[in-house]
């Protein structure tokens, strides 16, 4: 959903920048006003990279090219404009605390291993002791692995042809004179022979893995390495606002909105220049109806109930700005509870008869039964307070938007909704005009008669 809304806005700003780069600034106000009029924009704020380095937050220091863009925003009359400082945040640590501690332990062990005492090797020109081959003598561990030059010496480890590994046919010393092929029964054991009987206590009754811990991966490294931080996706740090200077045309922006900008990301970049070596102030702007987004939905609702217009001429303008928050935005995603809160405000606190019709597409949906029921009760109260004409066009549009092409299931929902609206939600004083309007709705309400 958000991607489908971002693409038209990005294309519109590309047209604006092309006009600006070509020096054609006469059409900038019209193009920018058309962009600002697009409803339900996903991005709340836009950032423009200045053509020259401007260290100060002064609009008088802007280059003519950038000043022409600011003049276009001011002439459009639909934007709030500001110069901000937004330094790049420090990249997060690549390794975790446990990973760093593990690396420190490995470094200490490596230093200890490098400093271990090493036995002195016997030179090649010096005869080895006892006539043994130096290649088969473990000098570091002592004389523990000795192999004679000649098997006739009588003690050759690992050689079955040695005298001590053979027995003659007349040797009757109480031992089996036949040397078994598998003396330790290494490959002849079975589960019953090994773990049965008196060895029940050694039964492997757990579900754990009893395999080896050899290197089974394909990295060619040691399995003791438990650092996978290099495999984590690289996180790009976003520039966050640390100082704000509003344009003279945006003096109506309240302090609460300005304070809410601090610490916020600069938003979507609108530029054709590289941002790698950006050491300058940044020009940010946003449609005026996006002011409630910076405060959040709850704070915006409190402003509605208290009568704070957030710099607009009337409270209805603030309500329209809150309407624009519904559906998915870059900072907040409204819920059913938010729709219920706004619906209650329009019936109980608002005196405008045009606002309920503007909010009706976001008040409920025909796809969910609970939402349809809530919408019927709300429309009953709206019609009783403001009359049928206040929501007539919106209801007719809602019912006629469901056609057989959308599927019979959705069409049935629209037909059932129109029938219940006519029978349950309309007061007798408006019954005649409601029947006339719904009867003229093509494709749906004519089936309800």
Higher pLDDT, 368 or 262: 262
Query: Could you tell me if 288 and 195 lie in one domain?
Result: no
Give the model's pLDDT for residue 201.
44
Q: Give residue-wise pLDDT tens across range 126-163.
A: 655 555 555 554 445 444 444 445 555 544 444 444 44
Going by C-alpha positions, the residue among 52, 64, 33, 6 that lies closest to residue 270 is 6
- Per the prediction, the chain carries an average pLDDT of 75
Same domain, 375 and 438: yes
Verify that 70 and 121 share a domain, yes or no.
Answer: no
- Percent of the chain exceeding pLDDT 90 equals 31
Q: Are residues 226 and 249 in the same domain?
A: no
| Structure confidence at residue 152 (pLDDT) | 55
C-alpha pair distances (Å), 97 with each of 100, 248, 303: 5, 48, 44
The pair of structure tokens assigned to 15 is 């047209």
Cα–Cα distance measured from residue 221 to residue 234, given in angstroms and rounded to the nearest whole number:
23
Same domain (yes/no): 344, 361: yes
pLDDT reading at 166 higher than 70: no
Domain end, chosen from 214, 234, 254, is at 234
Provide the pLDDT for residue 341. 95
- Among the ranges 112-126, 133-147, 215-229, 386-400, which has the highest mean pLDDT value? 386-400
* Domain assignment present for 192: yes
Assess if residue 190 is contained within a domain. yes
**Arithmetic mean of pLDDT, 306-332:** 90
Do 343 and 379 share a structural domain? yes
Residue 256 lies in a domain: yes
Q: Domain for residue 372, yes or no?
A: yes
User: Residue 170: which pLDDT band, with cuts at 50, 70 and 90?
Assistant: low
Highest mean pLDDT among 50-54, 285-289, 404-408: 285-289
CA gap 449, 447 in Å, rounded: 6
Residue with the bigger pLDDT between 290 and 167: it is 290
- 160, part of any domain: no
Whether 196 shows a pLDDT value over 70: the answer reads no
Residue 329, domain member (yes or no): no
Measured distance CA(334)–CA(351) in Å, rounded: 24
Q: Rounded to an integer, what distance in angstroms lies between the CA atom of residue 375 and that of residue 360?
A: 9
Span 384-399, average pLDDT: 85
Residues 261, 358 within the same domain: no
Give the pLDDT mean for 377-401: 85
What does the pLDDT look like over 321-335, one tens digit per residue?
A: 999 999 777 767 888
Which range (10-14, 221-225, 261-265, 306-310) has the least confidence?
Answer: 221-225
Give dist(CA 98, CA 382) in Å, integer: 60
In angstroms, the Cα distances linking 360 to 64, 343, 356 are 45, 9, 6
Statement to judge: residues 365 and 435 lie in one domain? yes
- pLDDT on residue 221: 44
Same domain, 350 and 437: yes
Q: Residues 349-359: pLDDT tens digits?
A: 999 999 999 99
pLDDT at 351: 92
Q: Is the pLDDT of residue 75 over 50?
A: yes
Tell whether the model's pLDDT for residue 405 goes beyond 60. no
Residue 221 C-beta-side C-alpha neighbours within 13 Å: 7
Give the pLDDT score at 204.
Answer: 47
The answer on pLDDT for 254 being more than 90 is yes
- What would the 3-class secondary structure string for the chain be? CHHHHHHHHHHHHHHHHHHHHCCCCCCHHHHHHHHHCCCCCCCCCEEECCCCCCCCCCHHHCCHHHHHHHHHHHHHCCEEEEEEECCCCCCCCCCCHHHHHHHHHHHHHHHHHHCCCCCCCCCCCCCCHHHCCHHHCCCCCCCCCCCCCCHHHCCCCCCCCCHHHCCCCCCCCCCCCCCCCCCCCCCCCCHHHHHCHHHHHHCCCCCCCCCCCCCCCCCCCCCCCCCCHHHCCCCCCCCECCEEEECHHHCCCCHHHHHHHCCCECCEECCCCCCCCCCCCEEEEEEHHHHHHHHCHHHHHHHHHHCCCCCCCCHHHHHHHHHCCCCECCCCECCHHHHHHHHHHHHHCCCCCCHHHHHHHHHCCCCCHHHHHHHHHHHHHHHHHHCHHHCHHHHHHHHHCCCHHHCHHHHHHHHHHHHHHHHHHCCHHHHHHHHHHHHCCCCCHHHCC
pLDDT higher than 70, residue 271: yes
Range of the domain at 14: 1-89+241-294
Residues 39 and 65 in one domain: yes
> Is residue 76 located within the same domain as residue 98?
no
Q: What is the pTM of this model?
A: 0.64
- Which of 142-156, 165-179, 301-315 holds the top average pLDDT? 301-315
At residue 59, does pLDDT exceed 50?
yes
In a domain, residue 303? The reply is: no
Output the CA–CA distances (angstroms, integers) from residue 134 to 124, 137, 157, 232, in the order listed: 8, 5, 16, 50
Tally of structural domains, the chain: 3
Tokens of residue 292, six digits:
């409630």
In this predicted model, which residue has the larger pLDDT, 200 or 98? 98
Same structural domain, 110 and 47: no
Residue 262, domain member (yes or no) = yes
Alpha carbons 324 and 214: distance in angstroms, whole number: 59
């Amino acid at each position: 959903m958000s991607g489908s809304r971002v693409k038209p806005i990005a294309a519109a700003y590309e047209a604006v920048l092309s006009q600006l780069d070509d020096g054609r600034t006469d059409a900038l106000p019209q193009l920018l006003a058309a962009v600002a009029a697009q409803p339900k924009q996903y991005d709340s704020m836009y950032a423009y990279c200045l053509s020259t380095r401007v260290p100060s937050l002064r609009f008088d220091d802007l280059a003519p090219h950038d000043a022409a863009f600011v003049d276009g925003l001011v002439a459009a009359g639909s934007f709030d404009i500001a110069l901000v400082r937004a330094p790049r945040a420090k990249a997060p640590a690549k390794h975790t605390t446990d990973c760093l501690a593990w690396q420190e332990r490995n470094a200490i062990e490596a230093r200890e291993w490098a400093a271990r005492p090493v036995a002195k090797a016997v030179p090649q020109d010096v005869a080895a002791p006892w006539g043994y081959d130096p290649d088969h003598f473990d000098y570091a561990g002592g004389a523990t692995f000795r192999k004679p030059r000649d098997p006739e010496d009588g003690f050759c480890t690992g050689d079955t042809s040695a005298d001590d590994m053979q027995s003659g046919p007349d040797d009757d010393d109480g031992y089996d004179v036949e040397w078994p092929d598998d003396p330790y029964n290494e490959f002849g054991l079975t589960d019953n022979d090994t773990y049965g009987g008196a060895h029940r206590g050694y039964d492997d009754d757990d579900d754990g893995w009893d395999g080896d811990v050899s290197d089974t991966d394909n990295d060619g490294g040691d399995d003791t390495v438990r650092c996978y931080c290099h495999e984590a996706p690289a996180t790009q740090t976003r520039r966050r606002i640390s100082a704000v200077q509003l344009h003279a045309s945006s003096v109506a922006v309240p302090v609460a909105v300005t304070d809410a900008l601090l610490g916020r990301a600069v938003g979507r970049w609108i530029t054709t220049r590289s941002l790698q070596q950006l050491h300058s102030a940044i020009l940010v702007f946003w449609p005026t109806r996006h002011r409630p987004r910076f405060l959040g939905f709850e704070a915006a609702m409190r402003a509605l109930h208290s009568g704070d217009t957030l710099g607009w001429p009337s409270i209805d303008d603030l309500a329209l700005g809150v309407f624009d928050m519904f559906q998915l935005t870059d900072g907040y995603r409204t819920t059913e509870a938010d729709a219920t809160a706004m619906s209650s405000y329009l019936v109980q606190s608002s005196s405008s008869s045009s606002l309920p019709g503007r909010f009706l597409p976001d008040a409920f949906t025909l796809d969910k039964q609970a939402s349809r029921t809530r919408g019927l009760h709300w429309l009953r109260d709206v019609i009783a307070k403001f009359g049928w004409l206040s929501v007539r066009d919106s209801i007719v549009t809602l019912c006629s938007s469901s056609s057989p092409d959308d599927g019979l299931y959705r069409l049935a929902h629209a037909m059932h909704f129109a029938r219940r609206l006519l029978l349950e939600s309309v007061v007798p004083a408006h019954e005649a005009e409601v029947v006339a309007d719904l009867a003229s709705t093509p494709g749906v309400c004519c089936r309800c008669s």
